[in-house]
Chain A
Amino acid sequence: MEIIYALAIGVLTGSGVWLLLRPRTFQVIMGFSLLSYAVNLFIFGMGRLTVGRAPIIDTLKQVDPSLYNDPVPQALVLTAIVIGFATTALFLVVLLASRGLTGTDHVDGEESEP
């Protein structure tokens, strides 16, 4: 499971970084989206991958830490999703404003081709 998970993060990060370095604003924002998925998965993975373990202590079961998952990364990932979503949405607004003001979707506001 760890291998597949790590590969998924790697593929997302790789495509995200590649898109980020492209000259079109739409490609950049897609790159940010992919990168944020990768980072969120990474944070989630830092709590160790487990199957069938709840992060909330069940009073009917034993209070044994090995029966439960670490709740902190899940809380962190929620915060990171919200913040990443909000800032990416803000970037989208700036992207549209830039498109409207400069008439091109190049990140520099002008075409580099002659």
Chain B
Amino acid sequence: MITWLQHLPVFPIVIPLVAGSAMLLFADAQRTARTVIALVATLANLAVAVVLACVANAAVPEIWPDGIAVYLLGGWQAPFGIVLVVDRLSAVMLVLNAVLAITSLVYSLARWRQMGPHFYSLFLFIVMGINGAFLTGDLFNLFVFVEVLLAASYGLALHGLGAPRVQAGLHYIAVNLAGSFIFLIGVSLIYGVTGTLNMADLAARVPALAEGDRILFETGAAILGVAFLIKAGAWPLNFWLPSAYSAAAPPVAAIFSIMTKVGVYALLRLGSLLSESSASGAPAPFSDGWLFGIGLVTLALGAAGMLAAQQPQRLAAYCVIASSGTLLAALGLGGAGMKSAALFYLISSVLATGAFFMLSELIERTQRFGENVLALTFETFGLEDPLDPTRPDDVVGVVIPAGMAFLGLGFIGCALLVTGLPPLPGFIAKFLILSAALDTAPLEVVPLSVWVLWAAVLGSSLIGIIALSKMGVRLFWSSEEIVTPQLHLIEVAPVAVLLLLTVALAVGAGPATEYLNLAASSLSTPQAYIDAVLGNGLPAGSSNGIEGIGR
């Protein structure tokens, strides 16, 4: 049992990789076999992620005493080999990704998987890339996993084809290719100065840098930060995001909604490790002032876009930008409780936008004007029009009556989550952020930046309410004829599950914030992470356990 557990941290990468590759051996016609493999793999991935979240909470003290699970690939010691590290932050992100993966996969079973070749493989590879980016403890390895997820996302963004998708995909790929080159320049500059790529080793070595090298290192870190901000969808590097996300197939857009959080995660992780590297704190892009300003402008852009958006899916895409902006601004303000508040917001907003992307397609079926893109897709692949009531039902599923009621309720749920109204966790998340912002200083001398954050968060929520009400009124109360859509259980269930999960998150906000507080406090004291990765000061028993992996 123990020896099996030791290999657990590598499973979130191995499972999707093996399943996705194995699927390529089956012919496209063997749809059932592929579906079963994909479902089993994503379910296994979810199970592993949940177990890892328990492990990170020091559930298995005999192997990983302080809850930081370090896996040495190939058994090579840390600065020489590549390590995978699971701590609470990584574990939370893994679970979030796994939940989103299984729901959007189930959603795609209804129709979208048929719209192009190799959907399942690409889907599993993007899951693998995102998992790997959350797990790795090595900068270059982070680049490789980001490339894996981007390469898969290029394929998925074009899934279903059609001119709008190809146009959006062209811009998306161009920006992210340039971003990858910036990433590489940053990584290699840091390697050239410090001679290491291991993040923990980097944190230990940076304080000892000479003055001249220090400037080069800061430059490298700044370039790397720009690459992370592109991934995070921060202004002014996010103009690719709305069209790419709103043109993508809905289940694909749902899994994309965690992709921007990879950039936020990388900023958090590296910022935490480098925060003690010098007296002035972390290098520029990871430190407070810059993130705060960038976050505010991103939030403003997201809010303005929400007001201007005409289709539900485009609105959801701007919600992703607004959530990135809120996160970056909150993290930029800093303060003791802010990291856990921001993580709580991250979870609730990822679940919300994921559900919103899938729901928006179901809602668009009630409208006549949104059919153009879809019709083109159907034409390309020679499929029958799904809106044709005479169409024989080729998908197994129950046709749900009262579909409009579900759509309305779901839309209200998403709106409550995005705008941060009670009772859903969007409210708790924004409340935590605002309260953590006030805690940064005594009440008499609260700095201006806190009030700016308050105004930005509350103002963007108000704009969100206006935009979503406008959209809701137009979609559901319009005088034009509304087509009552055919909804299948496997399309409705993922949206419902995501929304119910957010309800569970609101009910279990106490334990959830406790877990996130521990995650945030280990981010504020990175020494435990550094020691665990580099193997300093580990008790003899646990280091024996780690050596056992290499045998």
A-to-B contact residues, CB < 8 Å: 20, 25, 28, 32, 35-36, 39, 42-43, 45-48, 72-73, 76, 79-80, 83-84, 86-88, 90-91, 94-95, 97-98, 101-102, 107-109
Map CB proximity to A onto B56-91 as digits: 1 under 8 Å, 0 otherwise: 000000000000000000000000000000000000
Contact B140 A108 (CB under 8 A): no
A47 vs B174: C-alpha distance when bound (angstroms): 28
Q: Which of A47, A48, A72 has the most CB of B within 10 A?
A: A72
Contact A87 B180 (CB under 8 A): yes
Q: 7 closest A-B pairs (Cβ-Cβ)?
A: A46-B192, A43-B188, A101-B163, A46-B188, A109-B167, A83-B147, A39-B181
Which residue of the partner chain, among B147, B166, B180, B191, contacts A46 with CB atoms under 8 Å?
B191
B-to-A contact residues, CB < 8 Å: 140, 144, 147, 150-151, 154-155, 158, 161-163, 166-167, 169-171, 173-174, 177-178, 180-181, 184-185, 187-189, 191-192, 197
A84 vs B154: C-alpha distance when bound (angstroms): 14
Contact A97 B188 (CB under 8 A): no
Contact B178 A43 (CB under 8 A): no
A102 vs B181: C-alpha distance when bound (angstroms): 28
Q: With a CB–CB cut-off of 8 A, which chain A residues contact B161?
A: 97
Q: Is the interface of B mostly helix, strand, loop or mixed?
A: helix
Least Cβ distance of A81 to chain B in Å? 11
A34 vs B407: C-alpha distance when bound (angstroms): 50
Contact B170 A47 (CB under 8 A): no
Contact B178 A20 (CB under 8 A): yes
Least Cβ distance of A88 to chain B in Å? 7
Contact A90 B184 (CB under 8 A): no
Given A39-B184, A80-B184, A101-B163, is A91 in contact with B140 using a C-beta cutoff of 8 Å? no
Contact B178 A35 (CB under 8 A): yes
Least Cβ distance of B151 to chain A in Å? 6
Contact B173 A94 (CB under 8 A): yes
Q: With a CB–CB cut-off of 8 A, which chain B residues contact A87?
A: 147, 150-151, 154, 173, 177, 180
Q: With a CB–CB cut-off of 8 A, which chain A residues contact B191?
A: 46, 72-73, 76
A109 vs B191: C-alpha distance when bound (angstroms): 40
A81 vs B185: C-alpha distance when bound (angstroms): 13
